[in-house]
Structure formats: C-alpha cells, structure tokens
Structure 1
Amino acid sequence: MTPGLEESSIAALVDVFGEGARAVGMTVADKLFTGNWSMFDGSGVAKNGIGIALFYATDAVTHYIQSGFMPQGESGVVTKAEGRNLITIDDKPARDVFLDWLGRDPIIETGQVSYELMGLASFAHRVGETRMANGAVIENYYLVAPVMADAGTLTMVANPIEGDTIYMMTGEKDSMHNRLGKVTQQTLDKSLEKGAPAGGIMVMCAGYTMALKRDSLKSMESLIKTFDGVPVLGTLGYGEQGTYTNGKCIHGNWMVSSTVFNA
C-alpha cells in the first residue's frame, strides 16, 4: 500500500477477515521519501492505493514479525496526536522529548530526520507479550519512527496512539544483522513441526539500508544462508505489516516479518 493508508487498510481487512487473520504487508517506498513512489500489477500503475493478494493455503503457514530493538528506559504518554503527527508527550512538545531521550539532534535543515544521524533508534508502542515454549516471556513492541519535524511536532511513518504509552527503543548494528536470520530461523523451526518448508516471504524495513548502508548486505547474506535453498521473496519498504501471536495486526517501522509456507 502507499504511505498513509496502512492503518485504515488494516482496519478494513480485520473487519472482513476477523482478528487473528494472518496479514503480511509492506508500504511502497522511493529513494528519498519524496512521494516519488508507485505500485503496479499486471494491468496498470498507481501512485496511491493498496494491492491485495489472497492466499488460500492448503497447508500450514507460519508467521512472525519482530524488531531488533530493545527499550532504552524512557517512556511517556502520548497526550496529543493527529493522524501521523505526534504533537505532545506528557504535555511537552514531542520534538523536545525526542531530542532529550535520544541525546542528540538528528533533524537536518529541511526538517527531515536523518536515519544516519539518528542511528538505530525509534519510538514504539507495546502490543502485548508472547510466551515461548520454554516458558520465557517476550514483550512485543511495534516501532513508529519519526521522519519529519515541524516546530515541536514530529511526523511519524505510522500513527501514534493518543492516550497510549510510547517507549524509546534502541538497536545495535550487530543485532540488526542478526535479526533477519533469527526471525527467519524461528519461523523455519516452528514450520518444521508442520512439514517441509516450501517457500517464504520476508519483509524488511528500508530504513535498515539507509542506516547501515553497505553493511545491510550482511543481513541479506544471513537471510540467504538461513533459508538454505528454499525459495524466498524479499522486499524492502517504508512500513511493515504483520500479525503478532496474540492476533493483533499492526503497521510499524524498522520491523522484520518472516512467513513460511509448508508443502
């Protein structure tokens, strides 16, 4: 789908298919986030819209969506938000809070947030927790990254939720490199309980390539090694959509989703 339609599209899909339906998606991208994006199918090209493919799988499908980020410690309540605009956190200008939590200023003269200057950092909303087979409990977050600043307001790539707690998250380059392989391996291991893997779909944030530059190739190499000859479709986008194990379908950023189809 094109930027700005993600949350409403997810809501419409949930209305039709119900909570818990597996959804795998991405937001289209261009090189500099200047609106020079498009999407196409076999019959035409569109600047705005959503493309949907329905899979009626006769065998098992295993799906995970995660990020390689961890809570930094700071959190606050979104006290004012309008659409993609995060206006205040704890009644303070969101931009001021962002710079205070980040500890540096990644906002360049054009008002854009530079991924290179920001490093591996983002806001996040908590979406619940997953209890693993070994008893471990993993807290799940989906990331909502700022891309523009205007006075005290931040424009995000996903909708901030007014009244909800927002967390400051950080990642490291090594964890980003390893995340793709780990998420894929987790999905493959789970799918092997249901049969042989026949193919996969990987959705990865283009922000990784912006922040990591050529180092992002390590993540691609990790993906190829993990799938070990199983056919896989990989995409890079400006947003990632997926369904958590608690059935919550989300749109976030800096995320990685892995889907494996069994034979």
Structure 2
Amino acid sequence: MFEIKTAHSKASTAAEIWQDLQQQLAGQHFQFGLVMGHHSCIAQLADVPLASVADQWLGGSSCLGVMTEQGVFLQQDSLALFMIRDDDGHYGSGSAVIEGVNIAKATRDALTSALQRAGRPFQVPELVWCMQPPGTEEAVLKQIEQVLGKKVPVYGGSSADDDVSGQWLQYDGRAIHQQAVVIAVFYPSVAISHFFHSGYIPTEHKGIVTKSQGRLLQEIDHQPAVEVYSRWLNRKITSNYMQQTTLHPLGSVIEHSQLDVPLYMLSLPTNFHPDGSIELFAEVEQGKQLCLMTSEVSRLLSRTGTMCECTRSVLPAQRVSGGIIVFCGACLLSIKDQMEFVHNNVKQALGGAPFLIAFTFGEQGYAVDQTNRHGNLMYATVLFGEADAQY
C-alpha cells in the first residue's frame, strides 16, 4: 500500500499541537514524515512524540509558515506534516551537528546514518532530501555527490526564519538543532518525478565575474560589483536589500549542449558593503558571466502551478499521490498577501492530491544539466505517483 497524508496545526503549545496532529492522522503509522513550520512551532517539537507515528523524520523551519492542500498557514503558530506510508518502500533519515566549520563531516555522517536506517547501505537511493542551515548548501551537495555520485537527484531547502535573523531550526525526529545537516534517502515503491526551475528571465545587462570569493561578489568586469549592479538597475540600494533585490537577482548560465535556450541559476544579493562588494545567498564562480535577471509578481504567482503541471506530466498516466514543493522565502515575502492564488493553482495542477509547500532560504535540486545545484529564488517540486499506475 502507498499513501500520502498531510496534517497541520495552528496551536501554540506542544500538547495542543500533538492533539491536532493525532486527530488528523487517525492512529495511522507511516514510514516517513516531513515536518515544516514556523520556527516558533518547530521549537515545540522536542515535546511532541512524532516518533510514535513515523519511523523516519526530516524537517525544519519555514519562512512565515507553510501551505498544504488544506490551506495557507502563514502565521507564527503554524506547522504541517507530509506523511508517507509505503509498505513496499524504504526510507531513512540521519543527522549530524556541524562542529566548527566541518560541514563535510556532518554531511557524510548524516548521509551514512540515513542509508543505514533505510536498510539499504549499499544501494543508491532514488532520491535524496536535505535540510541544512543557510550558508552550507554547496558544501553539503558536494559531499553527497562524492558519496553517491552525480546521477542521484538531491532536493531540499535550507531552513528559514522570517527576517534572516538566524532563528532557523532543523529537526531529525529526535532533537531540534540550529546548525545541523539532516538528510533523508528515498527508495519508494512508486514512480517519482521532479523539477527545479525559477520564474525569472534574463535582461540585456551582462558582465564577467572578475573577482569573487565564495558568496562574496567583489568585481564585475573589473569594477566594484555594487557600482555595476546599481548601474544595471539605474538606482542605488541603501537599505532593505532583499526586499529591493528579490525581483532583480543575478543569474549564471547552466551550460548544456542540448538546451535550445539558456537557463540560469540565481544568486540573491543580500547585503552591499562599503568596499563595493555584494554578499549573495549562493556562490558565484570567478570567470563566469552574470546576467541581471528580472521577474514580476504575476510570474511568481503562477510559476508554482506551472511547475507542478510539468512535473506531473512525467508520471505514469499523470497520476499523483502527493508532492513536496520548495518555494523561496524571499519570493514569499514579496507576494505573501496573494498566496491564496498560488494555493489554488497548485491544488488544481495536482488534482486535489495532498501536498506540502515549505518556504526556504535556499533551494536545492537536480538541474537540467543533470547536476545537483543550490540556487536562490528557485522552485523545487517532487511528486509521487500511485501504486497501481503502469510504469
């Protein structure tokens, strides 16, 4: 039997959260559970016995709240579960606290634990899901790739808060963390499909990264990055950086010989420094071309539904049991008052199947060049088929 079920709570205490979830789960037991919610609600999970309803867990905090097929829950006390019952499948989750700056070791330890707990330590999973604090994503993906190779799709989203103040949390079914890598491996008995894309288009403004260090963009075309970016925008940004840059990120081309049109991975400017450098939420590589990207509210509102339709089209007979969707937290903050439109689009695209949407500060997914990548302002969708669909 394969089944997906969601549950949610808008309660403020652990006892009330558990009561809400128990009523909706109706005594069922599941192989895997994903839990996402506002950081104030995730912090309550130490006193919520989620391990009694699922064997494996992965979760963390989501900007403002969450969304499921049951509604839009963008308030402080909001939390949602995405539960998988798969009698013929295997799932495992593992976690490790990042000690100092040793992200690589934490990732390897978490992945090894997840593979062992799935009972498939020597079998490559069909899909990996990761959850980590912002700033660690590229290192996490690199380590997963070194262990499993480049062909296993890795999806996920970085834990978030409401204002980039560092209140994000991760959860592994046993403990709550602020600086941990949590990884889940999926060996489902049904078909899955996935898609990773953005809702942005390139402008005519382009330049070469002539000096950079990780996520610090120092020069474009041998000029201070702030000067070039401001010139491209035709205005200066002095405060509220993310609010003013969300519709105008920087994009680097995904190189792929079979693509007819260029596709871009996005980096969001988050801070401008007096020395002319720009701090980003994703790394940029020296020598690469950057392009000023742009979007509009209507595109951000419609893109998630479109992504779900594309992802669903790959499933046998387009039949879907449910899906996990990652939606950029910065995009959410730009359109939060119109999220009912997004909800209705996704619900229609998935035919009413259960889904969970988390709002993250960094998105991970399997790009069109068959490479796992980290980006900003992206959409990641993973859908599960149905047990009796013909493959």
TM-score by length of 2: 0.62
Q: Name the SS of the counterpart of 1:208 in structure 2.
A: helix
Count of residue pairs brought into register by the alignment: 254
The question of whether the paired residues in 2 share the 8 Å contact of 1:130 and 1:140 is answered with no
Matched, 1:239 2:357: no
Counterpart of 1:37 in 2: which secondary structure?
A: coil
Question: Which letter does structure 1 place at the counterpart of 2:255?
Answer: G
Secondary structure (helix, strand or coil) at the match of 1:51 reads strand
Query: Unpaired segments of 5 or more residues in structure 1?
Result: none
Separation in 2 of the partners of 1:32 and 1:92? Answer: 30
Matched with 2:185 is 54
Equivalent residue number for residue 323 of structure 2: 200
Q: Distance in 2 between matches of 1:23 and 1:227?
A: 22
In 1, Cα distance between the equivalents of 2:373 and 2:160? 18
Change (3 A) 1:119 1:10: closer
Tell me by how many angstroms 1:137 deviates.
2.9
| Cα displacement string for residues 24-55 of structure 1 (whole angstroms, at most 9, x for unaligned residues) | 11011111101121111211111112110100
Q: Give the secondary structure class of the aligned counterpart of 1:197.
A: coil
Letter in 1 for 2:331: Y
Give, as a single letter, the amino acid of the residue that structure 2 aligns with 1:176.
Answer: L
Tell which structure's C-alpha radius of gyration is larger.
2
* Alignment-derived partner of residue 24 in structure 1: 155
1:66 aligned residue: 197
Report whether the alignment pairs 1:146 with 2:269: yes
Distance in 2 (alpha carbons) for counterparts of 1:36 and 1:240: 18
Partner of 1:36: 167
Aligned 1:173-252 pairs, distance under 5 A: 173-193=297-317, 196-252=319-375
Residues 246 and 330 of structure 2 are in contact (CA less than 8 Å); yes or no, is this contact kept in structure 1?
A: no
Residue 91, structure 1, aligned to residue 222, structure 2: yes
Are the equivalent residues in 2 in contact too, given 1:125–1:143 (CA < 8 A)?
Answer: yes
Helix, strand or coil at the partner of 1:52: strand
User: How far off its partner does 1:119 sit?
Assistant: 5.3
Letter in 1 for 2:260: V
SS at match of 1:55: strand
* 1:130-172 Cα deviation digits (max 9, x unpaired): 96xxxx8342211101101111011100111111111110001
Task: Using CA pairs under 8 Å that are at least 6 residues apart, name the structure with larger relative contact order, 1 or 2.
Answer: 1
Aligned-pair identity (%): 27
1:31-90 per-residue CA deviation (whole Å, 9 max, x = no partner) reads: 110112111121111111211010012332211111110001111111111121111111
**Residue 158 of structure 1: aligned partner:** 282
Q: Is the CA contact (8 Å cut-off) linking 1:208 and 1:216 kept in structure 2?
A: no
Aligned alpha-carbon RMSD (Å):
1.7
Give structure 2 stretches of 5+ with no counterpart: 1-131, 387-391
